[in-house]
Amino acid sequence: MSNISSELIPQEKREILKNQMFQERFQSIRQKTESICQPLEIEDYVVQPIADVSPPKWHLGHTTWFFETMILVPHFPGYAVFDANYNFIFNSYYESVGARVIRTDRGNLSRPSVQNVYHYRKYVDEAMQIFLQTEVPSELAPLLELGLLHEQQHPELLLTDIKYILGNNPLFPPYQNEAEIATTPVSASKWIAMDEGVYEIGFQGDEFCFDNELNRHKVYLNAYQIASELVTNQEYLEFMKDGGYENFRHWHSEAWDWVQKNQSKAPMYWYYIENQWFNYTLNGLQLVDLNAPVTHINFYEAFAFASWSGKRLPTEAEWEVAQGQFDWGSRWEWTQSAYLPYPGFTKADDATGEYNGKFMVNQMVLRGASVATAENHSRPTYRNFFQTNLQWQFTGIRLAQ
Ligand SMILES: [Fe+2]
C-alpha cells in the first residue's frame, strides 16, 4: 500500500487499514514476549530473587492485564474479564485501578499456574482481535498505541529479569540469546567537541512519544566534549585494579554506604575464579571480554568511574544534542541528570497518567537504548530512568568533560 497516497483512500477505509495494522502489530508484539520465554524451564517462570526482578510468569500476566484493564473493560461492551482476581495479582503500580499484590510477593505465587497465565493471554488476545475488527473510535488510537508500546517495553525487563534469575543460580545455566553475541567491540574513543549555545531538546513530530519527552524546550549548554565510545571492560578493570571500590573519594555518600554494605568489588555478574574475571552472559559464564562495553553497573559505579578518570557523566541535554555524532544503542547510558519533568509537562487524568510522571523523584535518566530494547523505543529523545543502586539492566558509561 505504500505507493498509494493516503489522501486517495476514503476515511472509512483508512480506519480499517489502521485497525489491520494494529492487529498485525498486536500479534507480532505479543508473540515476541512469549518467544523470550521459550527457552525457559517451567520452574524459571516463578522465581523472584530480588524485589526488582519480577518472575517471567508475572510479566506474561501483567502485559495481558494491561490490555484487559485499560482497553477491553472500559471500551469493549460485553467483554467479560477472564478472572476477577487477576486485577489484584497483575496490577503493577496503578493506584487508580485498585489494590494489588505487594511487589515483593510476586515470586510467592504458585497460582495462577503458568499454563493458566498462557490461557489468560490467549483469551485476551482473542478478545482484542475481535475488538480490533469492530469500528474502533479513532480517539482510542493513542491508548492502543500505549498498550502495544507497554508490551514492547516488557520484553527488555523480561530478558534482564531472566538473566538475573539464571545468572544468580550457582549452575549458571545459559539462556542462549543473540542479544549479547551481537555486541560489537568498542574501538578507541575520541572526544567530540560541542560549541556553547542555546539548543532545543525534547520530542517534536506527529508520531507517538511518551509524555515525559514533552515539551520540546530550549537549553543553554556551555562548551563541552563527549566521548565517541562507551567505556570498555578493560578501562573499568583498570579502575578496579587501582582500588576504585576501596577509595571513598570517588563515591557519593549513599553510594559509599552501598559499596560497604554489599562489599561491592565489580560490576554485577562478574566472578573472580582462579585469578581471572569471568562474567555471566545470556550465553553462560564466560571470560570477561575486555573490548566490550562495561555493563550492569549502577549510577553510583558510573559516577565513581567518571570521578576516578577525572571526567564526568554527560547531562541528558548534552547527550541529546551530541547524539548524531556518535553511535549508540547497545547500552543504556547513565547521565548525571535527575529524572524531572520538562517545562510544561502534563499527564493524563486517567490511569495512563500514572505511567511516567509519578516516578520523577530519586531516579536518574538514562539515554540511548540497549541490545534488549525494541526497535521503536530507540529514539534520541527517549528518556529511561532507574534508581541509582540498580545494576540489572544493560547499562553503560559514556564520559564527558
Ligand atoms: Fe508494566
**Tens digits of per-residue pLDDT, 188-216?**
999 999 999 999 999 999 988 999 999 99
Compute the average pLDDT of residues 303-330: 97
Q: Using a pLDDT cut of 90, give the percent of the chain over it.
A: 78
Q: Angle at CA 232, nearest 5°, toward 228 and 236? A: 125
Residue 244 has what pLDDT?
A: 98
126 alpha carbon – ligand 1 mean position (Å)? 21
User: 90, 89, 84, 75: which is closest to 127 by C-alpha?
Assistant: 75
pLDDT higher than threshold 50 for residue 6: no
Compute the average pLDDT of residues 70-75: 95
109 alpha carbon – ligand 1 mean position (Å)? 18
CB burial of 155-178 (b: ≥16 within 10 Å; e: otherwise) equals bbbbbbbbbbbbbbeeebbebebe
17 alpha carbon – ligand 1 mean position (Å)? 28
DSSP conformational letter for 103: G
CB burial of 313-336 (b: ≥16 within 10 Å; e: otherwise) equals bbbbbbbbbbbeebebebbbbbbb
- Say how far apart CA 246 and CA 338 lie, in whole Å: 26
- Say how far apart CA 294 and CA 312 lie, in whole Å: 16
Residue 181 has what pLDDT?
A: 62
CB burial of 354-383 (b: ≥16 within 10 Å; e: otherwise) equals bbbeeeeeebbbbbbbbbbbbeeeeebbbb
Residue 320 has what pLDDT?
A: 98
**Tens digits of per-residue pLDDT, 268-301?**
999 999 999 999 999 999 999 999 999 999 999 9
Residue 136 has what pLDDT?
A: 86
Residue 4 has what pLDDT?
A: 37
Alpha helix segments (H runs only) across 281-396: 299-308, 316-322
355 alpha carbon – ligand 1 mean position (Å)? 9
Compute the average pLDDT of residues 341-365: 93
Kindly report the pTM of this predicted structure.
0.91
pLDDT higher than threshold 90 for residue 86: yes
40 alpha carbon – ligand 1 mean position (Å)? 21
228 alpha carbon – ligand 1 mean position (Å)? 33
Residue 2 has what pLDDT?
A: 35
147 alpha carbon – ligand 1 mean position (Å)? 10
6 alpha carbon – ligand 1 mean position (Å)? 34
pLDDT higher than threshold 90 for residue 20: no
53 alpha carbon – ligand 1 mean position (Å)? 13
Compute the average pLDDT of residues 318-341: 97
Compute the average pLDDT of residues 102-116: 89
- Say how far apart CA 374 and CA 159 lie, in whole Å: 12
Q: What are phi and psi of 272, to 5 degrees?
A: -95, 110
Residue 242 has what pLDDT?
A: 98
261 alpha carbon – ligand 1 mean position (Å)? 30
- Say how far apart CA 261 and CA 263 lie, in whole Å: 6
275 alpha carbon – ligand 1 mean position (Å)? 41
373-377 long-range contacts (CB < 8 A, ≥24 apart) are: 373/156, 373/329, 373/332, 374/32, 374/152, 374/153, 374/155, 374/156, 376/149, 376/152, 377/149, 377/152, 377/153, 377/156
Residue 67 has what pLDDT?
A: 96
Residue 177 has what pLDDT?
A: 67
315 alpha carbon – ligand 1 mean position (Å)? 27
65 alpha carbon – ligand 1 mean position (Å)? 9
Residue 95 has what pLDDT?
A: 79
- Say how far apart CA 299 and CA 387 lie, in whole Å: 8
205 alpha carbon – ligand 1 mean position (Å)? 25
Contact residues for 102 (Cβ-Cβ < 8 A; gap 6+) = none
93 alpha carbon – ligand 1 mean position (Å)? 8
Residue 8 has what pLDDT?
A: 53
150 alpha carbon – ligand 1 mean position (Å)? 6
Q: Which of 153-157, 268-272, 323-327, 393-397 has the lowest mean pLDDT?
A: 153-157
227 alpha carbon – ligand 1 mean position (Å)? 33
pLDDT higher than threshold 60 for residue 53: yes
223 alpha carbon – ligand 1 mean position (Å)? 39
364 alpha carbon – ligand 1 mean position (Å)? 19
179 alpha carbon – ligand 1 mean position (Å)? 22
Q: Which of 76-85, 132-141, 320-329 has the lowest mean pLDDT?
A: 132-141
Compute the average pLDDT of residues 153-177: 92
pLDDT higher than threshold 80 for residue 259: yes
Residue 354 has what pLDDT?
A: 85
Compute the average pLDDT of residues 351-359: 88
Compute the average pLDDT of residues 63-77: 95
Compute the average pLDDT of residues 10-26: 74
66 alpha carbon – ligand 1 mean position (Å)? 7
220 alpha carbon – ligand 1 mean position (Å)? 35
pLDDT higher than threshold 90 for residue 237: yes
359 alpha carbon – ligand 1 mean position (Å)? 13
Compute the average pLDDT of residues 372-400: 94
| DSSP H/E element including 114 | helix 114-133
380 alpha carbon – ligand 1 mean position (Å)? 22
Q: Using a pLDDT cut of 70, give the percent of the chain over it.
A: 93
Round the average pLDDT of the chain to a whole number and report it. 92
54 alpha carbon – ligand 1 mean position (Å)? 11
pLDDT higher than threshold 70 for residue 17: no
Q: In Å, how far from its chain's centre is CA 65?
A: 19
